[in-house]
Amino acid sequence: ARGFLHEQIGIDVIKTEQKAECSSYFTLKPYTALMSISGSFSMNIAFSFDTTLIEQVYRVYCHDLEIEDDERLEHIDETAADMINIVIGNSTEQLAADGTVVKISVPIVINEADSLSIRDVQFLTTTLFTHTGDMMVTAMPNTMDYGTKGGKL
């Protein structure tokens, strides 16, 4: 995610913070893309964005496209989904280093939700701080039993 922001968008990460916690939910930022990874393991990865950051990613990512105003939010969602797909897709070679086939799901986007609830699990979150806004990258076991509070999935 850090490399994508820097190399593709021109946004530098100025600080990172990592935390691990065991909880039934974690707080989401306004835009969140989620996908599952499986192979010799099974986990979910979430990229959760401040609005200002994902809007800047969208502006750079779609700068040469003519997008109608009424389609803007849909394209911002697609930008979040594309970003997680690219970052996770590019990491599958490392995840499959032992020859295990790694499968990734199609990304889903959650927006306007306050939190993601899941059975008590260990979450590992790295927050990337930029001058444009912040982004959380969260990894968690794939329990396939989750829901959102507020917002839509």
State yes or no: pLDDT of 77 exceeds 60: yes
Query: What is the band of 19 on the pLDDT scale with cuts at 50, 70, 90?
Result: very high
Q: Is the dihedral of CA 25, 83, 18, 133 positive or negative?
A: negative
Query: What is the band of 89 on the pLDDT scale with cuts at 50, 70, 90?
Result: confident
Residue 58, beta-bridge partner list = none
- In this prediction, residues 50-58 reach a mean pLDDT of 95
Q: What is the pLDDT of residues 116-147, one digit of tens each?
A: 777 777 889 999 999 999 999 999 887 644 44
Least confident segment among 60-69, 108-117, 123-132: 108-117
Q: For residue 32, which phi and psi values (nearest 5 degrees)?
A: -135, 130
State yes or no: pLDDT of 44 exceeds 80: yes
Residue 147: predicted pLDDT: 47
CB atoms within 10 A of CB 105: 15
State yes or no: pLDDT of 152 exceeds 80: no
The model's pTM is 0.85
